[in-house]
Amino acid sequence: MFLELKSDNEFKTSYFETLKYRLAFASLELEGISDDLANTRQSIKIFNQLQAINYIFDLTKEENFSHYEFTNLLCEVAKRVTGEEVSNFRTTDASVVGSNVVRTKPQMIRNSLWYLIDNYNYLINNCKSEDELYEIEADFHIKLLHIHPFEDGNGRTARVILAYNMCKNCLAPCIISNEHKKMYCDLIENSDYKGLAKLFKELSKTELSTMVSLYKDLDDKGLIKENKFTEEQKSKYLKLKI
């Protein structure tokens, strides 16, 4: 299925158009943003979230991110998510309402992020199974949120990164809705990466079914055109199971 997301075609266009809106609404809903589109402030937040999703999914990088690339990517996503200029990380201590987790000290943020991406790259490069992939993504997501690199927009930024990472690693992205908010927040609060991985897997499999249904519908209408890939890409992606 992810073979069809590697070049421009009707499936990629149709699926991504629905995906980005669902990701944006779900992420904002987790933070108490209602669906009142007539509200100017909420409309701006939706627009900002869509800008961040468009930005990251336009990236074509296949290799792992270096330290500098990763920290720059975080700032670029956070800038779009918040609609404000973000060129560096927070400079004051942070706390989250309702959370007992101690967030990373400002002077340690950059080092913590560098360690995080180093560890992530190593684990991804040595991953042996799909279940392990979900655990790697869950652990990365929790640690990024606990580092809390920005003054604002950390959750929204982390969820954009999560969607991108999962697609990059050939997993269907997670639409984390308000229905799963308490479980999602509790798992993050308790650093329960195995529990969060199970939630990610459940939501990812649900999303994969959505992708397959859309693909079959477009294929039945004759709208799926053949993609052109290198032999290396074919070898890698044709091994995936729908």
pLDDT above 90 covers what percent of the chain? 55
Structure token digits, residue 142:
């929790």
The domain ranges of the chain are: 2-91+98-234
Q: Identify which of 41-55, 182-196, 208-222, 225-239 has the greatest average pLDDT.
A: 182-196
Supply the pTM of this predicted model: 0.86
Assign domain 2-91+98-234 to its CATH superfamily.
Answer: Fido-like domain (1.10.3290.10)
Residue range 162-188, pLDDT digits in tens: 999 998 888 889 999 899 999 999 999
Predicted confidence band at 118 (pLDDT cuts at 50, 70, 90)? Answer: very high
Closest by CA position to 92, among listed 109, 75, 79: 109
Instruction: Name 148's Cβ contacts closer than 8 Å, sequence gap at least 6.
Output: 90, 94, 96, 103, 104, 154
Long-range (24+ apart) CB contacts under 8 A made by 68-71 are 70/113, 70/114, 70/117, 71/110, 71/113, 71/114
CB contact at 8 A, 127 and 139: no
Residue range 20-31, pLDDT digits in tens: 888 888 988 888
